[in-house]
Structure 1
Amino acid sequence: MHFIGLILFVILAMQSWQLGESECCKKTTVKFDIRRKDDCHNYLKSTRIFLSITCKNRLCNDLSANSICCGVGSCDVFCCNCDGGCLKGDIAEQMVNKFGKDITMVKPKPKKSKESSDDLDNLDEDLSDSQLVPY
């Protein structure tokens, strides 16, 4: 009898997953390098990767790590179907803004600004074959 109840539970759970595409709000693993004599715990209570200058942490998009899921409101057991959606933000950008030159992002990489990519495109257009020096 318990086996039939378990089967019914699994079928109902699978049906709810199929009803719609739901966004899951899970934490992202963040890795960054610090100065050798600095402590990873100073950076959002991160932990040091063994014998390196790299720290890691699991954070939400708004740099919080207080709850299991990263939803605005409550979420289901799989951190999906969160009330109000997922917390917004760019982790790498916020880490660089918060800690500046004290860290170097490893994962996720900061997104390149539109201005810097345009400058590179213009550089390619400005150079002609005659300006290139063979080596």
Structure 2
Amino acid sequence: MADNFNFELVSPERLLVSGSVSEVVIPATEGEMTVMANHAPTMTTIKPGVVTVKFADGKKDRYVVFGGFADIIPTGCTLLAESAVHVDDIKSEDITRRIEAARKELEHAASDEHKFGIETYLAELTTLNGIVMPV
């Protein structure tokens, strides 16, 4: 049996998860990452994506996050999300609204660096929309 560790998923609105888990897959900015007990201390930014949580009892659950960061230590992981919702509660309109807002922001981006950041965010949202809301 795998070792368990403490995991918390927190958004500004509420605490979504707090408990003992055996594994968490997070959408880190540099690529998807699996966190398990005794993980090396790491801090990473989070891109829009799906967090998959495997609880100590074997149950799995998924949450959609829209950015943030994760603090990982050998005994736990805390993911502070800019915004998060259970995957069953996400609506296509939520993601579409974020895509439209990013497109408007892109029209007014002053620098190439700002444009690149917005284009990257748009690509991540589009991918997320395809994962969560398959056609």
Q: TM-score normalised to the size of structure 2? A: 0.25
| Greater helix share, structure number | 1
Q: Whose radius of gyration is greater, 1 or 2? A: 1
